[in-house]
Amino acid sequence: MTDLWFRPSELIFYKVHVRGPTDWRFLEIRDGQGGFGFAEAAGAVGGRNVPDMVARLADRLRGEVLSSDRAVVDALRVGDASARSAGVLGAAMSSLRAAVADALARRAELPLADYLRAGSGRAGEPSRRVRLYANINRSMLPDDGGHVDRSAESFAAVAARAVAEGFRSVKCAPFDECRAPFDAGGLPPEARKGLERVSAVREAIGAEVELYVDCHSRFDVESAIALEEELRAIGVDWFEEPVDPIGQGDDVLRIRDCAELPLAGAESGYGIETFRSLMESESLDIVMPDVMHCGGPVEAFLTGCELESMKPGCVSLHCPSGPVSLCTSAHATAGFGNVLPLEHAVYEVEWRHEALEPHERIVDGYIELNREPGIGCAPDLGVVLDRGERWTP
Ligand SMILES: [Mg+2]
């Protein structure tokens, strides 16, 4: 496939207002001859604007002949180490690499999942249905009217809706009141409210549905170990980021030594080496590369292929994001043939599926991919311009 190439000449951004403080940012790269590719970008990392960084890098790519994902890295001379040390650079690289991968797959006239497999010599057709888990967190953040009910009953009601609509795994992030360090040792009293929310969700979804809990790095070693016991008693199936597994590697190892629940995380990691070393050191049971931060869909796909062959069921892409990111993630996930479901932020806005043309299709807890080239869809300009803006940097 090296005879296929893409030469970027133009960059376009789209911003869609979602709710409260949340916007989706999509980018499109064009070659001036009808070729194009789409990706989604983070807004800011570490207080630094990601689209600005994308624009600077894209400027340096203008006119370069790109025949692969690797060619983007080589042309920009941004190695994994520098992308890792500056999160904004890693995020910008990820989005650009994603857009180029989409453009190259479209040029090859292959769905992105098939393009990824062909590029690594993998035989066989990928699945067109990718199992999702329902992350209810985004639907429970402030909307344009401000406050949203975050009572245990409210968590339970949203989780029950997801199960009624066919999801077999639900994730929540219930520990609003917690932030280490805590005054007392053991289980912090602040965690009680969060545990009530988890119990209410478990009761609402029944024993058969998997329950994942994201702790957003709000704990420390001692509180995390105490919390894990409580979560285990409630019947939680996945313990995500009690501490940041990338920034607090020693802490996560100490928690790992005491915990029985599968420990998940590393959503901000960049490059396959980051995820490989977390698995090899047995810091985590499940790594969560995010196509908007890990280096894009090719990096996520290669990470999935390598690590899943070492330990099946250890890779689940992180995706609490918009529909372009979910579609890209679903292609990467279908490419490596996942065991675990992929993340999906449910019920953030009821018009979400309309933001893409053709519409995003989520049925019975699965995302359904079409057989069109690339990611097989594009932002719907009517919806985007109605709810946001388009600009060229
Ligand atoms: Mg998370």
How far is the centre of ligand 1, averaged over its atoms, from the C-alpha of 323 (Å)? Answer: 18
How far is the centre of ligand 1, averaged over its atoms, from the C-alpha of 224 (Å)? Answer: 15
How far is the centre of ligand 1, averaged over its atoms, from the C-alpha of 96 (Å)? Answer: 23
How far is the centre of ligand 1, averaged over its atoms, from the C-alpha of 55 (Å)? Answer: 27
User: What is the Cα–Cα distance from 168 to 164, expressed in whole angstroms?
Assistant: 9
How far is the centre of ligand 1, averaged over its atoms, from the C-alpha of 287 (Å)? Answer: 11
How far is the centre of ligand 1, averaged over its atoms, from the C-alpha of 123 (Å)? Answer: 33
Indicate if 293 and 349 belong to the same structural domain. yes
Tokens encoding 227: 């919390």
HSE of 341, CA atoms in CB hemisphere, 13 A: 23
What pLDDT sits at residue 70? 95
Indicate if 140 and 104 belong to the same structural domain. no
DSSP state of 374: B
How far is the centre of ligand 1, averaged over its atoms, from the C-alpha of 263 (Å)? Answer: 12
Indicate if 159 and 51 belong to the same structural domain. no
How far is the centre of ligand 1, averaged over its atoms, from the C-alpha of 175 (Å)? Answer: 12
27 falls within a domain? yes
User: What is the Cα–Cα distance from 106 to 188, expressed in whole angstroms?
Assistant: 52
How far is the centre of ligand 1, averaged over its atoms, from the C-alpha of 65 (Å)? Answer: 36
How far is the centre of ligand 1, averaged over its atoms, from the C-alpha of 345 (Å)? Answer: 11
How far is the centre of ligand 1, averaged over its atoms, from the C-alpha of 239 (Å)? Answer: 10
How far is the centre of ligand 1, averaged over its atoms, from the C-alpha of 242 (Å)? Answer: 10
All residue ranges of the chain with pLDDT < 50 are none
User: What is the Cα–Cα distance from 6 to 102, expressed in whole angstroms?
Assistant: 10
Tokens encoding 212: 């994942």
Bridge partners of 363, per DSSP, are 366
How far is the centre of ligand 1, averaged over its atoms, from the C-alpha of 262 (Å)? Answer: 14
How far is the centre of ligand 1, averaged over its atoms, from the C-alpha of 315 (Å)? Answer: 14
The widest CA-to-CA distance across the chain, in whole angstroms, is: 64
Indicate if 173 and 276 belong to the same structural domain. yes
Indicate if 149 and 80 belong to the same structural domain. no
How far is the centre of ligand 1, averaged over its atoms, from the C-alpha of 53 (Å)? Answer: 24
Sign of CA dihedral 92, 108, 24, 245: negative
How remote is the C-alpha of 372 from its chain's centroid? Answer: 22
Quote the number of domains for the chain: 2
User: What is the Cα–Cα distance from 205 to 149, expressed in whole angstroms?
Assistant: 19
Indicate if 47 and 152 belong to the same structural domain. no
User: What is the Cα–Cα distance from 385 to 236, expressed in whole angstroms?
Assistant: 42
- CATH code of the domain in which 62 resides: 3.30.390.10
How far is the centre of ligand 1, averaged over its atoms, from the C-alpha of 216 (Å)? Answer: 6
- Name 183's Cβ contacts closer than 8 Å, sequence gap at least 6: none
310 falls within a domain? yes
264 falls within a domain? yes
Helices (H), the chain: 50-61, 69-76, 80-85, 87-107, 112-119, 152-164, 191-205, 221-234, 249-258, 272-280, 297-310, 323-336, 381-387
| Domain that includes residue 65, residue range | 10-114+387-391
User: What is the Cα–Cα distance from 134 to 132, expressed in whole angstroms?
Assistant: 7
What pLDDT sits at residue 145? 87
1 falls within a domain? no
Residue appearing with tokens 């911003």:
15
123 falls within a domain? no
- CATH code of the domain in which 242 resides: 3.20.20.120
User: What is the Cα–Cα distance from 75 to 61, expressed in whole angstroms?
Assistant: 7
How far is the centre of ligand 1, averaged over its atoms, from the C-alpha of 57 (Å)? Answer: 28
Indicate if 198 and 325 belong to the same structural domain. yes
- Is there a contact between 317 and 295 (Cβ–Cβ < 8 Å)? no
Tokens encoding 327: 């579609």
What pLDDT sits at residue 85? 86
Indicate if 98 and 215 belong to the same structural domain. no
Indicate if 62 and 169 belong to the same structural domain. no
Strand 342-345 versus strand 362-363 pairing type: unpaired
196 falls within a domain? yes
284 falls within a domain? yes
How far is the centre of ligand 1, averaged over its atoms, from the C-alpha of 320 (Å)? Answer: 8
Indicate if 201 and 282 belong to the same structural domain. yes
Cβ burial, residue 59 (10 Å; 0-12/13-18/19+) = exposed
Indicate if 107 and 134 belong to the same structural domain. no
72 falls within a domain? yes
Indicate if 101 and 194 belong to the same structural domain. no
